[in-house]
Structure 1
Amino acid sequence: MPLLPLALTQGDPAGIGPELALRAWLERRERDLPAFACIASPGDLAGLANRLGWHVPLRICDWGEVENAFPEALPCIALAAAAKAEPGRPNPATAPSTIAAIDTAVAAVMAGRAAAVVTNPIAKSVLYQSGFRHPGHTEYLAHLSAAGGNAPRPVMMLWCDELAVVPITIHEPLRRVPELLTTDLIVDTARIVAAELKARFGIAAPRLAFSGLNPHAGESGAMGGEEMAVIAPAIAALQSEGIDARGPYPADTMFHARARAGYDVALAMYHDQALIPIKTIAFDEGVNVTLGLPFIRTSPDHGTAFDIAGKGIARPDSLCAALKLAARMAEGPMQVAAL
């Protein structure tokens, strides 16, 4: 486990993030979790634990006290003001609390007081109503980590022990994907993925498999020309740089067990092409890993789940997996032969 604690944000305080933090701490021993501190209002966390009938002692700490406090109490890095959120009732008035938790986590890891940032889910629509000007959570993290005014380009990777996937285009309407998909975008994304798999995951020569965009990977142009005009040139450019890039392959044959044994990460052309297979394989244990930032960031692979917030039934599996993966990455390259 890392010498420094993990910085866990509360997420949207009306969502399931706060109760997942409480539940993860309650299950810390059976899941062998690394030490983490939840960045939230102590009063909010205590009130929620009381509402759920869970005995979770809290201890307000600074970062240097988290490791010693963690075995007997949930360490809390206290926010200045309570969010006063009602579980299941998203409210733009809680946005400053959500953002403050993110700011605090990034400041801690950039200053060397925390080993990694682990973020609970937020609701972008709630933040937008409060005047939030960034496209999303990940873009805001990149903004906070910008050096000299130049923000890094983050890349989303979904990870579990059996599969790692990267969507090249992410939250875009399907009709826009062909116009957004460019050779430069594919090459730029793949370079970041290859570099991070070397640096963070200990894979000396990462094998990158690319899907096609169209059925049957276009079938030599009979079902679409993007494979020949856009994707194949990107793969050739990457190969010329010494990156082990393969494909494009038909997406419907890329994700069975024998196919997965032939690559370390699959790069898919759009959101569902990437997320359907990993959520089928590891719906409860998948982790969102942000590549390309100057610090480690992981997150559960699910949303705020306002519909079940405050009921005590949300499963902490993905959060626990995100905490454990962040700790493994913080210890140094993971030294895995394949993902």
Structure 2
Amino acid sequence: MAKRIQFSRHGGPEVLEYVDYQPAAPGPHEVRVRNRAIGLNFIDTYFRNGLYTPPALPSSLGTEGAGEIEALGSAVQGLQLGDRVAYATAPLGAYSELHVMPATQVVKLPDSIDFEQAAAVLLKGLTVQYLLRQTYEVQPGETILWHAAAGGVGLIACQWAKALGVQLIGTVSSPEKAKLAEAHGAWKTIDYSREDVAARVLELTDGAKCTVVYDSVGKDTWTTSLDCVEPRGLLVSFGNASGPVEGVNLGVLAQKGSLYVTRPTLFGYANTQERLQAMADELFAMLAAGKLQVDIGQRFSLADAAKAQTALSARQTTGSTVLLP
């Protein structure tokens, strides 16, 4: 028997339960990982509240973690018992002491990165990798806008953009978060609680706006984001922190300058073992070179996952948050 977090109905953090369960034996192409640290991400709240639909209820939560392989399927190759691994695109169930997943969804963890670092950085780091290096390959000298720059993904983006010679303007909700984003490499910050974001972007770019805007907030920032994109520029909408964007009028894209919009996901990019490993290798190389630092702002026990999600949704967290079994 082992412990995990599960929910039997959709709702707020109060629906999360800390229960005993019987972990499955790995199938021929699967591994079972003993989690040492678990990543907390906004997508977890989407499954809990019903925005995204889990396979069935009751359901477990979480797709990211790090630990050691404690059981192998009969057909698994290239992995051994005791290997240190991390994962970010596994089936739901990371909020647990033991998690079974396809062997193709784990990456080997370099000795230089500990379990907490891996759980704090892999999903967010892979997200920044595909956004800055694949969805739109940013170039030195470009100016971009990144919403929620003091969050877990945002702080990695600030560092990665700076390493690439890109001027990142980050939106934040307080002076403290502005200082945090700037300390991590943001070129400029905009406090959306006190400033007009679109107007400030115009000032900072001398009226040119941004080649690309990265928006994980969703509904509340949709119009503002469009107003910050230069003609024929790109809006990358990759999250729904304030709710999903609905009722989009494509004609608005023409009115605002023949804009492009995309709604990517990590799973659309890390869709093969080879691509996942290549993306992880680039992320690990950035960490090894000291170009990225992992900022773990909060640690919660697995049993306190509801408290962790409450803090995340209330934007009371900074950097990354990990759950510890």
TM-score by length of 2: 0.31
Higher relative contact order (CA 8 A, sep 6+): 1
Structure 1 or 2: more helix by fraction: 1
Structure 1 or 2: more strand by fraction: 2
